[in-house]
């Protein structure tokens, strides 16, 4: 194998790497070490992840299938080739999901839950269920027959439909469509007299679907589910609204009717029916996938609810964990003065978000605070953060909020939130056009005897009380005036529709992050050239930026030690002799979503440490406004290194990416270390 061929083997396709990540989520559904009820969650996560993947990534690839210049810069595959590989891999994963699902259902039976089909009912039960269908379901169904008078209906994204191949008394074939989703009837139908035994409503509808077409013979039938493209960037409006918020609302409506990218079938159907369906939906046959499980797994949360109520076995669920107040704060005292004394680092979900919320409320009511500026990407429904900003505005503070309306699938929530803030008197800025504002910044400005001072918060995750209990994230609160001054420059640029071009302390994309990362890696290479040792440690969600990947390969060739903790997509293959043998990659998939981003360059006294909102993806490094903040406080630096080093040796939920491109569990510690549980134990012992 030549040098170029070996180098090419150092890269993995982004989409296939993502599917590998989602398979790791699916593996948790089949992991006997995970509590049974929690494994149901991972099965649902696998499905919802895959839905979004088709809606976003596959949808985008299909739009560009005929564009020759839309090529993966790491593997050289065009869009059609990538879609072909994706569909091949997804069909294999669906078989694996089917096996794990059946395993889960089998293990649930001794716990009192069964999901059955009509054939498992006694004659009396079948009669009762039929009566239930006739009285409680059939009146609310709207069966259709496709024909000249009734064209093929629009099938909503991710909704369930029954499809039937019908034969009339005259020998003519027809297609029938029955919507199976309704708020009127429950998804799970409990069998009378058999507590904990359920049928899925769509299966009941499909069984009795012939009663809806009494003048026809049902030749074959299946449940189908359509997934539609959700790539709003590809949508052009004929008449773009002058008001950006109205424009986004129009786009959201457009999304609902974008083209189909996948059709799932609960049962195989013959080729001619499948071909007809594909034509009517506007999809290629290859995008029709047979699924061996229910097409919508969201009902598993109803099963969990039933288990919590009816089954006393506490081992079915994770041990209860509640975030604690951070040890670095005395919550009995005012928080802003404590931040002015010393930097504070908070780690979610181990620490509560209460300290940050309290800081905002203090600022809203502090007579010396003149302004609060904040970036918002995703926030919780009925957010306490919004309440604090409204409170500040009503108290006469200048409140400037940069709201990113293009936070995918959160657009509607962000639109409503922006209206609420605007009504309270806040100044709203809607991003930067071609650059999404993804940074997590909060800047509080106070008047002082000497003029003014800043309190700054910079984080790795969204200002969202709900996800702060589900995602691992880091939040720095500091009175460092150099940092505050540069954050003020970021806000000033955003308000003028511009981006920062120079920084001394912060790393700020799109102009001052990727280039500085590359320089920091070069610095580590130079240390090795000078006879010393170099080190790079990165914890992120995804690595796709080829410029950074190539620089890491170069650093590895020079002997720089590189440790990467990458939860999801990793387009770099480690362990390739002569290229990446000095690189290790670990992925942690556990109870909480790993979301914090940490950058480390060098070791010892000259080590640079940052936390950031940015993954090493091209969209983050050069197409978004992202911010990384240096950690100067020694106690905060020590905490971050401890977090990173513990994650590296996680051999309970951490897997190592091998040169084969496969992720494997490893044995490092005498007693396996689950980093997330370890950090909670530390918080409970007041050690973190």
CB atoms within 10 A of CB 577: 8
For residue 668 the two structure tokens come to: 């490092």
Alpha carbons 242 and 31: distance in angstroms, whole number: 52
Which of 165, 351, 438, 595 is the catalytic position?
A: 438
Could you tell me if 382 and 417 are in contact, meaning their C-beta atoms sit under 8 angstroms apart? no
For residue 34 the two structure tokens come to: 């995970």
Burial class (CB in 10 A: 0-12, 13-18, 19+), 244: middle
Query: Residue 312 to residues 40, 274, 308, 511, 604: CA-CA distances in angstroms?
Result: 18, 46, 7, 56, 51
* C-alpha closest to that of 355 among 380, 333, 371: 333
Long-range contacts, stretch 131-138, CB < 8 angstroms, 24+ apart: 132/189, 132/192, 133/204, 133/205, 133/208, 133/211, 134/211, 136/185, 137/185, 137/201, 137/204, 137/205, 138/208, 138/211, 138/212
How does DSSP assign 531-559, residue by residue?
TS--EEEEEES-B--HHHHHHHHHHHHHT
How does DSSP assign 1-14, residue by residue?
--HHHHHHTTB--H
Handedness of CA 594, 596, 601, 605 (dihedral sign): negative
Query: Residue 74 to residues 12, 239, 289: CA-CA distances in angstroms?
Result: 7, 38, 28
Name the phi and psi angles at 71, rounded to 5: -120, 140
Query: Residue 349 to residues 72, 86, 324, 510, 687: CA-CA distances in angstroms?
Result: 36, 34, 9, 29, 15
Could you tell me if 511 and 537 are in contact, meaning their C-beta atoms sit under 8 angstroms apart? no
Could you tell me if 402 and 431 are in contact, meaning their C-beta atoms sit under 8 angstroms apart? yes
Alpha carbons 473 and 597: distance in angstroms, whole number: 8
Whether the upstream peptide bond of residue 510 has omega within 30° of 0, thus cis, is yes
Our CA angle for 205, 210, 215, nearest 5°, is: 145
Beta strands in 259-356 (DSSP E): 260-265, 288-290, 344-348
Alpha carbons 275 and 282: distance in angstroms, whole number: 10
Alpha carbons 363 and 346: distance in angstroms, whole number: 19
- Taking the CA atoms of residue 608, residue 614, residue 619 and residue 624 in that order, the dihedral angle to the nearest 10 degrees is -100
Query: Residue 415 to residues 382, 434, 592, 659: CA-CA distances in angstroms?
Result: 13, 18, 28, 45
Beta strands at 451-459 and 583-588: parallel, antiparallel or unpaired: unpaired
- Confirm whether 438 is a catalytic residue: yes
Active site residues: 438
């Amino acid at each position: 194998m030549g040098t170029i061929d070996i180098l090419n083997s150092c890269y993995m396709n982004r989409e296939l790497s993502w599917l590998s990540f989602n398979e790791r989520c699916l593996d948790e559904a089949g992991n006997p070490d995970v509590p049974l009820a929690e494994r149901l969650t991972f099965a649902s996560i696998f499905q919802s992840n895959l839905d979004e993947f088709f809606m976003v990534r596959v949808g985008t690839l299909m739009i560009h299938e005929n564009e020759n210049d839309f090529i993966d810069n790491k593997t050289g595959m065009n869009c059609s080739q990538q879609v072909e590989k994706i569909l091949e891999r997804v069909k294999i994963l669906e078989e694996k999901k089917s096996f794990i699902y059946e395993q889960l259902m089998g293990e649930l039976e001794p716990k009192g839950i069964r999901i059955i089909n009509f054939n498992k009912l006694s004659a009396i039960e079948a009669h009762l269920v039929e009566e239930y269908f006739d009285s409680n379901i059939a009146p609310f169904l709207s069966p259709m027959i496709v024909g000249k008078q009734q064209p093929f209906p629009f099938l909503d994204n991710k909704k369930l439909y029954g499809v039937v191949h019908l034969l009339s008394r005259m020998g003519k074939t027809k297609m029938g469509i029955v919507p199976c989703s309704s708020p009127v009837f429950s998804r799970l139908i409990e069998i009378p007299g058999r507590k904990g035994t359920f049928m899925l409503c769509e299966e009941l509808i499909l069984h009795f679907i012939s009663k809806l077409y009494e003048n026809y013979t049902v030749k074959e039938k299946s449940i189908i589910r359509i997934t539609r493209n959700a790539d709003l960037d590809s949508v052009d409006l004929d008449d773009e609204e002058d008001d950006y918020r109205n424009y986004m609302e129009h786009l959201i409506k457009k999304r609902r009717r974008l083209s189909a990218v996948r059709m799932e079938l609960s049962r195989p159907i013959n080729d001619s029916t499948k071909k007809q369906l594909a034509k009517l939906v506007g999809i290629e046959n290859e995008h029709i996938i047979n699924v061996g499980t229910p097409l919508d797994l969201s009902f598993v949360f109803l099963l969990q609810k039933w288990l919590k109520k009816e089954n006393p076995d506490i081992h079915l669920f994770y041990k209860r964990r509640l975030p604690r107040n951070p040890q670095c704060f005395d919550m009995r005292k005012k928080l802003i003065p404590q931040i002015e004394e010393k930097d504070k680092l908070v780690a979610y979900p181990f620490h509560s978000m209460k300290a940050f919320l309290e800081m905002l409320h203090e600022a809203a009511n502090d007579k010396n605070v003149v302004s609060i500026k904040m970036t918002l990407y995703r926030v919780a429904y009925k957010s306490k953060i919004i309440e604090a900003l409204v409170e500040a505005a009503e108290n006469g503070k200048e409140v400037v909020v940069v709201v990113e309306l293009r936070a995918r699938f959160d657009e509607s929530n962000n639109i409503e939130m922006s209206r609420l803030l605007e009504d309270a008197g806040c100044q709203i800025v809607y991003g930067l056009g071609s650059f999404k504002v993804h940074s997590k910044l909060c800047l509080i400005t106070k008047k002082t005897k000497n003029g003014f001072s800043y309190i700054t918060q910079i984080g790795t995750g969204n200002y969202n009380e709900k996800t702060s209990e589900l995602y691992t994230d880091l939040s720095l609160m500091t009175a460092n005036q150099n940092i505050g001054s540069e954050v003020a420059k970021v806000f000033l640029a955003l308000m003028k529709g511009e981006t920062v071009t120079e920084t001394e302390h912060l790393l700020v994309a799109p102009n001052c992050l990727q280039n500085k990362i590359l320089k920091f890696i070069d610095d580590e290479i130079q240390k090795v050239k000078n006879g010393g040792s170099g080190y790079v440690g990165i914890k992120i969600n995804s690595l796709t930026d080829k410029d950074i990947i190539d620089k890491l390969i170069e650093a590895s060739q020079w002997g720089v030690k590189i440790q990467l903790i990458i939860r999801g997509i990793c387009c770099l293959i480690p362990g390739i002799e002569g290229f990446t043998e000095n690189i290790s990659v670990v992925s942690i998939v556990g109870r909480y979503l790993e979301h914090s981003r940490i950058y480390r360059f060098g070791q010892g006294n000259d080590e640079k440490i940052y936390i950031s909102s940015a993954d090493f993806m091209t969209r983050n490094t050069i197409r978004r406004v992202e911010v990384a903040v240096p950690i100067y406080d020694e106690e905060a630096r020590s905490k971050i290194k401890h977090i990173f080093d513990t994650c590296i040796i996680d051999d309970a939920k951490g897997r190592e990416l091998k040169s084969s491109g496969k992720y494997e569990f490893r044995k490092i510690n005498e007693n396996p270390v689950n980093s997330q549980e370890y950090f909670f134990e530390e918080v409970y012992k007041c050690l973190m």
